[in-house]
Every structure is written in C-alpha cells, then in structure tokens.
Structure 1
Amino acid sequence: MSGPSEPRRATRQRDAERTRIAILDAARTLFSTRGFAHTGVREVAELAGVNSSLVGRYFGSKQGLFQATLERMIDITPMLHGDRRRFGVDMVAAFFDAPDAPGPLAMMILSAADPEAHAASVELLQTKVITPLARWLGPPDGEGRAARLSILWTGFLTSWKLLPIQSLTGARLASTRRWLEAATQAIVDEGSA
C-alpha cells in the first residue's frame, strides 16, 4: 500500500543524491586543482550550490569528503571485464577519452602534503587499483606487475597532464599512445608467456 508520503520520500532521495553528486563534483574540481590543504568545505559547498552544513551531513568532515571523492574517481574494476588481449588498448583509451576534468592523480599529488589525505590516497590506490588489478593479473607476480602498471600510467599521466612535456603533442602523442598500449599489454601478457 502506497501513501502520499512515498512520492515525497522518492523525491527527497533523488534530491539528496543530486546534492551528494554536486558536492562530489565540486570537491573533485577543487581538490584536483588546489589540493586538500587549500580547499575549504565552504568553497566546495559554494561551488556545488548548497549549504556547507550539507557537506558535514553527507560526508562527516573534509577528510571524509576527500576520501569519498577519491573513491568515486578511482576504480579499475570496470576495466577488468573486457577482453584481456585488448587491455592495453582499452586502458589507454580510458586515459585519452576521459574528459579534461581534473583527474585523481592531480588530486592525490596536490594533497600529498597532508598526512591524512596522503594516507587515504595510498590506501585507495592500493584497494581500488593495485589489489584488484593484481588479482586479475594473477601469477606470476600479479602484485609486482600491478605495481609496474601503476608506475607506467602515473609516469605517463604526470608527463602528459600535470608536468606536461611540451613536445608530447600531435604525432609524438599518437606514437606515445601506441607505445603505452604496447607497454601496458606486455606487462599484462607476462603471465601468459
């Protein structure tokens, strides 16, 4: 039996989810461009168009907001459901096809000076990328191969987006993309040799 309060509750839940997403999007922008220390809860709320008390209600604290934002941004598991033989191409396509919105790497690097934000970054990188990737890669040395992939991708993204190498454009970027696809796939294929 449905009563008059059910539609109102559903509307409130949709509004609450929209508010939560708006806060996370604003936090992503600010944490990825300013870092943890230079981002305030009020600024996030203002950019999201909400009252700053809602940030506390949804995330508990600025640290909780940082962790929820980063957790939303990094998760490799969707990439692990494709064709293993195309992983290099598919993974690199995810880097190239991503919108120009600030990424999780910028957020982690800019927030590394704060011990709590740094610890959250390291933990989420391990639980959301390294561990599932290592499990997917399997023996031999899935953990080591996952770490090498992370190093490879982090180096590329840093040189392309955060500390851009000026000559990494046009044809050079296209050839670098092919190299990154091949290097990624080679690490994946180490287990099947």
Structure 2
Amino acid sequence: MRQRDAERTRAALLSAAQTLFSTRGFANTGVRDVAELAGVNSSLVSRYFGSKQGLYRETLERVLDITPMLEGDRRRFGEKVVSIFLGVEDAPGPLMMLILSAADPEAHATSVELLQKKAIEPLARWLGPPDADGRAARLNILWGGFLMSWRLLPLPQLAEVRHSSTRRWLEATIQAIVDEGET
C-alpha cells in the first residue's frame, strides 16, 4: 500500500510541476506552490526529487518525448507532426517549460541538455544521413518558431492555421527536410 501512495504522490508532484513550470516558469515556481497544487507536504519534493531543480529535470524529461512522432509512415511525417501540434489544445507542455526556463541559468542548462538528448539526438538518428544533426536542428527551429508564433505570441494570420495554406506550407517544409536524406 505504501508503494502505491509513493507512486501516486510522485505522479501528483510531477503533474503539478508540469502545470506550474509551463505557466509560471522555473524562477516563478516555488516548491511550496508545487506541493500545494499536488495536495501534499512540500518536504516530499526533496524526498522524491532532491530539489526543485531535480523536480524540474524529471518533469521535463517526462514530457519531452518525440518518439511517438517518429513512428509510422515516414512519407507522411510532415502531416503527422502538424496534426499533432494542431491537435494539442492549451495543455501545459515542454515548449513553455523550455522557454520559461531561460531566466534561471541552471534550469536553462538542464533544458538545453534535455532538448538535445530527448529531441534532437533521437530525431537525428531517425533522419539518418546526410547531415542528420543539421536537419534535426532545422526541424526544431521550424517547430519552435511555428509554435511560438501560433501559441505564445499569436499572430492573427495564424488564427485559422488548421485549414490554411500555412498548414500546407508547414507540412511540406517539414517533409522536405525529412526527404533531404532520400536518394
């Protein structure tokens, strides 16, 4: 019974941390805030994660996972990725955590490290030669720019992106970067 409670407590803390880190940022989120949202004692953050930084790392590691995007038909990757992006409503996610971590040097370093490890490197392996690292970086730049312009600093021109020429352009551009490796 205790193990199940510990797992439930960890899950509640991770969920609360994801919400707060992606809405307030690392610097503006306190351990007490996370514990309060999770409905547990703040000392449990130290017990399970060692520190706020440890909680941030584990939370980001959990939510920053592109492997589901890499499954399926490679020839339809652009469509799949755009559908995933457009299908996610305002759920707290890794992009906001990454952006809002920039104010804290340690959290920022963790963000850069995990973005490389959990997104760029797996994407580069999946893409394969030629220039897998460069293509993975270009895709990340494209995705980040699109998501920032659509979600964080919404451009009015992207309000109807679900059914627009912008969507088709984004799908085609993503696919073109993927297809650079095809002979």
The question of 1:143 aligning with 2:125 is answered: no
Spell out, residue by residue over 1:100-159, the C-alpha distance to the aligned partner (whole angstroms, 9 max, x if none): 212211111111011100000000000000001001100000000000000000000000
1:163 matched residue in structure 2:
153
Q: Deviation at 1:86?
A: 1.4
Alignment-derived partner of residue 3 in structure 1: none
Alignment partner, residue 6 of structure 1: none
One of 175, 181, 184 as aligned partner of 2:171: 181
Distance 2:141 2:36 in 1: 36
- 4+ aligned runs moved over 4 Å, structure 1: none
Aligned pairs for 1:21-170 (under 5 A) are 21-170=11-160
Shift of 1:83: 1.2
Matched residue type, 1:126: Q
Q: How far, CA to CA, are the matches of 2:133 and 2:54 in structure 1?
A: 28
CA–CA distance in 1 between the matches of 2:15 and 2:127?
32
2-side partners of 1:141 and 1:90: how far apart? 22
Q: TM-score, normalized by length of structure 2? A: 0.95
Give ranges in structure 2 of 5+ residues lacking alignment.
none
Q: Which amino acid aligns with 1:132?
A: P
* Deviation of 1:174 (Å): 2.2
Same amino acid, percent of matched pairs: 74
Corresponding pairs, count: 182
Structure 1 stretch displaced more, 145-154 or 97-106: 97-106
Under a length normalisation based on structure 1, what TM-score does the superposition of the two structures give? 0.90
Give the residue type in structure 2 aligned to 1:145: R
CA distance in 2, matches of 1:16, 1:163: 39
In structure 2, the residue matched to 1:4 is none
Change (3 A) 1:23 1:190: same
Deviation at 1:78, TM superposition (A): 2.1
Deviations 1:48-77 (A, max 9, x none): 111111111111100001111111111112
Shifted more, 114-123 versus 98-107: the winner is: 98-107
Please, which runs of 5 or more residues in structure 1 have no aligned partner? 1-10
